[in-house]
């Protein structure tokens, strides 16, 4: 199991005024690669530090790009893009949309860094950046259904300051993020970014491999947690800071 580092923040008040509901909570989860067996302890520690730094930089760049994309949306500031999924047979950097009823798996995939089609995001440019983690992998993202354009029927989300309030509740649940013990850090998470890191044993990332080939799972206190199952519940494990 690879360590997962995290950070969460609220967007500035000025963004709240523009309806950027990712202000609810943007949680950045950094999945670092496994420790490499190097010649000496010092060189191994230096290598891990450098790899973690590269991954942290990639996550920070992606976070900034997502916030910028949302608040600069020409039609609906605060809207988030659908991710790039492998369900269409490839990962090509564009949001994947479908003319079928909603499925939670639609909200989990790689970051869509290329232009967004009107079906997905009401005509907006792409993120414009494609940062890679220390293993050279494209970052993954999961988003809340509250912030994306609906598939069937087509409808833009209603994004305004009331999304922050407990009453009335938002149309759909937010994402949940847990710490290494399984305790809930927040159940009001708008977006989660994950850097897959090096492939674990048994993970085949060729072609349009599914989330389980990039994201891992763990059992804590006898309860299984799986970041790849699209249940909108994510765990930062182990040795994480959120």
Range with lowest mean pLDDT among 150-154, 188-192, 202-206, 223-227: 150-154
Tens-place pLDDT, residues 26-85: 444 433 333 333 444 455 666 778 888 888 888 889 988 988 888 888 888 888 888 988
pLDDT at residue number 238: 65
pLDDT at residue number 44: 61
| pLDDT > 90: percent of the chain | 14
- Say if residue 191's pLDDT is above 80: yes
Q: How far is CA 128 from CA 66, 68, 111, 114, 115, in A?
A: 10, 10, 11, 6, 8
Beta bridge partners of 7: 28
pLDDT at residue number 141: 93
Pairing of strands 175-178, 233-235: parallel
Mean pLDDT of 89-100: 79
Q: For residue 7, count CB atoms less than 10 angstroms from its CB and return exposed for 0-12, middle for 13-18, buried for 19 or more.
A: middle
pLDDT at residue number 98: 66
Range with lowest mean pLDDT among 58-72, 87-101, 115-129: 115-129
User: What is the distance, to the nearest Å, from the Cα of residue 154 to the centroid of all Cα atoms in its chain?
Assistant: 23
Helix (H, G, I), strand (E, B) or coil at 28: strand
Confidence (pTM): 0.79
pLDDT at residue number 231: 92
Please name the helix (run of DSSP H) or strand (run of DSSP E) that holds residue 4, with its range, or none: strand 4-9
Contacts of 182 (CB under 8 A, 6+ apart): 220, 221, 223, 225, 235
- Say if residue 137's pLDDT is above 50: yes
């Amino acid at each position: 199991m690879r360590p997962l580092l995290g950070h969460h923040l609220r967007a500035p008040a000025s963004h709240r005024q523009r309806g950027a509901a990712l202000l609810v909570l943007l949680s950045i989860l950094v999945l670092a690669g496994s420790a490499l067996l190097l010649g000496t302890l010092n060189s191994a520690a230096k290598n891990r530090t450098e790899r973690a730094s590269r991954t942290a930089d990639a996550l920070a760049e992606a976070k900034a790009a997502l916030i910028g994309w949302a608040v600069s949306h020409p039609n609906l500031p605060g809207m988030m893009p659908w991710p790039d999924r492998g369900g269409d047979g490839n990962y090509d950097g564009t949001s994947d949309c479908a003319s079928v009823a909603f499925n939670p798996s639609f909200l989990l995939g790689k970051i869509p860094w290329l232009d967004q089609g009107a079906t997905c995001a009401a005509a907006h440019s792409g993120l414009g950046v494609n940062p890679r983690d220390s293993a050279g992998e494209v970052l993954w993202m999961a988003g809340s259904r509250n912030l994306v354009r609906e598939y069937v029927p087509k409808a833009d989300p209603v994004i305004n300051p009331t999304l922050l309030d407990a009453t009335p509740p938002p149309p759909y649940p937010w994402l949940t993020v847990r710490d290494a013990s399984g305790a809930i850090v927040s159940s009001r998470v708008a977006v989660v970014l994950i850097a897959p890191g090096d492939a674990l044993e048994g993970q085949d990332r060729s072609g349009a491999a599914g989330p389980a080939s990039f994201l891992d799972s763990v059992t804590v206190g006898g309860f299984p947690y799986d970041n790849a199952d699209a249940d909108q519940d994510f765990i930062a494990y182990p040795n994480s800071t959120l």
